[in-house]
């Protein structure tokens, strides 16, 4: 399964080794998840990583190697009423490449979290892990 990770998830994984965001990284290989991101997201992570605890930079170096970079998608061939312009590329890129967008940004993605976006699941990492566990798919 292709999972697109928003910057908020990657930053949380770097900042909190015991949280659900880090668990997604830790469990990805054995569950067959491909962790996707894009240059747009990488730039946001790079801008924000200095705000995290010192260990976050070394965690970021390790976690970055687990991410597969995909091409950013800036427009869609479908109607999209989604307000926050800065997060449109995240949503559109995730919709083009992944089955699920993982984000902690309920402020910007709250209108599509849980309901999805053109077949793209949009979930917080903890909700995603709960869904996979309930379906018996976690290894």
* pLDDT tens, position by position, 4-34: 999 999 999 998 888 999 999 999 999 999 9
- Is residue 53 included in any domain, yes or no? yes
- Is residue 61 included in any domain, yes or no? yes
| Residue span of the structural domain in which 44 resides | 2-134
- Is residue 139 included in any domain, yes or no? no
**Strand order, beta sheet including 100-102:** 68-70, 34-38, 2-5, 100-102, 121-123
Q: Which CATH number does the domain housing residue 89 bear?
A: 3.40.50.1010
Question: Could you tell me which residue, 132 or 87, shows the higher pLDDT?
Answer: 132
Question: Could you tell me which residue, 107 or 130, shows the higher pLDDT?
Answer: 130
Model confidence band, residue 37 (pLDDT cutoffs 50, 70, 90): very high
Overall domain count for the chain = 1
**Structure confidence at residue 12 (pLDDT):** 96
**Structure confidence at residue 88 (pLDDT):** 77
Residue % of the chain over a pLDDT of 70: 91
- Is residue 119 included in any domain, yes or no? yes
Structure tokens at 100: 């699920």
CB 105 within 8 A of CB 8: yes
């Amino acid at each position: 399964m292709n999972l697109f990770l928003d910057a908020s998830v990657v930053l949380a994984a770097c900042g909190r080794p015991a949280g659900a965001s880090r668990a997604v990284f830790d469990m990805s290989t054995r569950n067959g998840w491909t962790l996707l991101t894009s240059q747009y997201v990488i730039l946001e992570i790079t801008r924000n990583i200095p705000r995290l605890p010192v260990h976050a930079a070394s965690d970021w170096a390790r976690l970055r190697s687990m991410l597969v970079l995909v091409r950013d998608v800036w427009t869609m061939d479908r109607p999209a009423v989604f307000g926050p312009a800065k997060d449109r590329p995240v949503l559109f890129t995730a919709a083009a490449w992944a089955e699920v967008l993982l984000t902690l940004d309920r402020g910007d993605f709250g209108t599509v979290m849980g309901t999805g976006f053109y077949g793209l699941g949009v979930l917080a990492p903890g909700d995603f892990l709960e869904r996979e566990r309930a379906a018996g798919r976690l290894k």
